[in-house]
Amino acid sequence: MITEAAPAAKHTKPMDWSAYRADFPILSEKVHGQPLIYFDNAATTQKPRAVLDALRHYYEHGNANVHRGIHELSNRATAAFEAARARAARFINARSADEIVFTRGTTESINLVASAWGSSHIGRGDKILLTEMEHHSNIVPWQLLAERTGAKLLFLPISGDIGLLDLNHLDEWLTRDVKLLAMTHISNSLGTINPVTEICERARRLGIITLVDAAQSAGHRPIDVQEFGCDFLAFSGHKMCGPTGIGVLYGRQERLETMAPYQGGGEMILSVEFQRSTWKHAPHKFEAGTPDIAGAVGLHAAMDYLDQIGRQKIAEHDQELGAYAYAKLSHIKGIRLFGPHIGRAGLVSFLLDQVHAHDVVTVADQRGVALRGGHHCNQPLMHKLGVESTARASFYFYNTTAEIDRFAEVLGEIQKFFAS
């Protein structure tokens, strides 16, 4: 079993992480009269003032449609939208801004690849290799493609509750008829961090195209698509301090250029006649219709904000919080913990004996702790683990160990409540 090593600690001065809480107005909210402990960051993160201000500033000073007008406001909106694209390219170390397609999020990014790349590169009998820990967003688009083309889906197994991929047998799965390998970087249920650089490299040797689902990692650690060596990478703005409704598909330029458009409409064309049309080059040929311009502006602000803190530092803090929570919870009697013991991301999934995950979440909510309970869009993984659902606490840099202490106390209260 292999998992990615914890990023080496590079800084010496301890960070005051709680200072960042002041940047997030919502973190001072009370819920049910209790101070909010927000542990649902894997679902969506909160937004700092820098992002809220950027959205307001855009609507107050720059709002117009992009790429169409020649008036001043349209030029401002276009410049802001394209600046966000260039920023996203730097954020993941893409070779060029032309490799960045704006989408609604990870889900749409993967659907775009399954549809626009899959339709012309996947045929009957071809295999698509996924892993057992994938989010539905990285399963269902491939199922739809497989139904259309007669391709077959295979799933790299995980090792029970600790949830690591068995890479010792990876080469047995990487056969010549596998055309695409799509995997998550960080599992949203297990907290497993997959060694994507190594996996992509082993796939590339056989000419297999690779896609990395970076929904849970892009805002949590440095991402370098050139180092990963992947062909595609997808992420969502809202899981990294940005607004909802905006996300990114990175595609290697040579891949994007060979793909047909995903949707048709305005913005993506060079010319249209009654019977036929011609397209712009990538990335514009994949962006039909008015894009989420404000979303891109907000995402730009989020990327700046995260990089001012430093994603390497965020990754280290994430792992500290994940390890702290795992150690704390492992002392609770009657708890079942999922995911790796060490080197986990900043989230913990668990079940308490005799208490349904939804009950854990409902009672925790009454005490101000926002958790998530359910299958986390990982139904096949839940079935593999032999459960219907788990409760999950997922952290971000603005969370503290004091909040985890309170959360562990709340779990004790929940156990007492259901035992009585």
Residues within the interface to ligand PLP (CB under 6 A)? 42, 105-107, 135, 137-138, 184, 188, 213, 215-216, 236
| Alpha-helical runs (H) found in 205-352 | 225-228, 253-257, 293-309, 311-330
Where do we find the tokens 């080059």?
281
Task: Please say whether the beta carbons of 338 and 350 come within 8 A.
Answer: yes
DSSP string, 37-71: EE-BTTT-----HHHHHHHHHHHHHT-S-SSS--S
Q: How far is the CB of 187 from ligand PLP (least distance, A)?
A: 7
What is the distance of C-alpha 182 from the center of its chain?
A: 13
Q: How far is the CB of 239 from ligand PLP (least distance, A)?
A: 6
Cβ closer to ligand PLP: 45 or 137? 137
Question: Active site residue: 200, 230, 241, 377, which one?
Answer: 377
Active site residue 377: yes
Nearest to 398 by CA among 326, 317, 339, 344: 317
Contacts of 84 (CB under 8 A, 6+ apart): 102, 296, 297, 299, 300
What is the distance of C-alpha 134 from the center of its chain?
A: 11
Q: How far is the CB of 306 from ligand PLP (least distance, A)?
A: 17
Q: Taking the CA atoms of 303, 306, 311 and 316 in sequence, report the sign of the dihedral they define.
A: negative
Cβ closer to ligand PLP: 78 or 319? 319
Contacts of 8 (CB under 8 A, 6+ apart): none
Task: Please say whether the beta carbons of 224 and 92 come within 8 A.
Answer: yes
Cβ closer to ligand PLP: 42 or 369? 42
Cβ closer to ligand PLP: 248 or 355? 248
Q: How far is the CB of 417 from ligand PLP (least distance, A)?
A: 29
Task: Please say whether the beta carbons of 224 and 93 come within 8 A.
Answer: yes
Q: How far is the CB of 236 from ligand PLP (least distance, A)?
A: 3
Nearest to 82 by CA among 253, 284, 279, 243: 284
Cβ closer to ligand PLP: 135 or 285? 135
Q: How far is the CB of 113 from ligand PLP (least distance, A)?
A: 13
Task: Please say whether the beta carbons of 117 and 108 come within 8 A.
Answer: no
The β-bridge partners of 269 are 279
Cβ closer to ligand PLP: 269 or 370? 370
Cβ closer to ligand PLP: 104 or 367? 104
Strands 37-38, 369-370: parallel, antiparallel or unpaired by DSSP? parallel
Cα 25 to Cα 32: distance, rounded to the nearest angstrom? 17
Q: Catalogue the E-assigned strands of 60-198.
A: 100-103, 127-131, 152-156, 178-184
The β-bridge partners of 277 are 272
Q: How far is the CB of 375 from ligand PLP (least distance, A)?
A: 12
Name the residues annotated as catalytic.
377
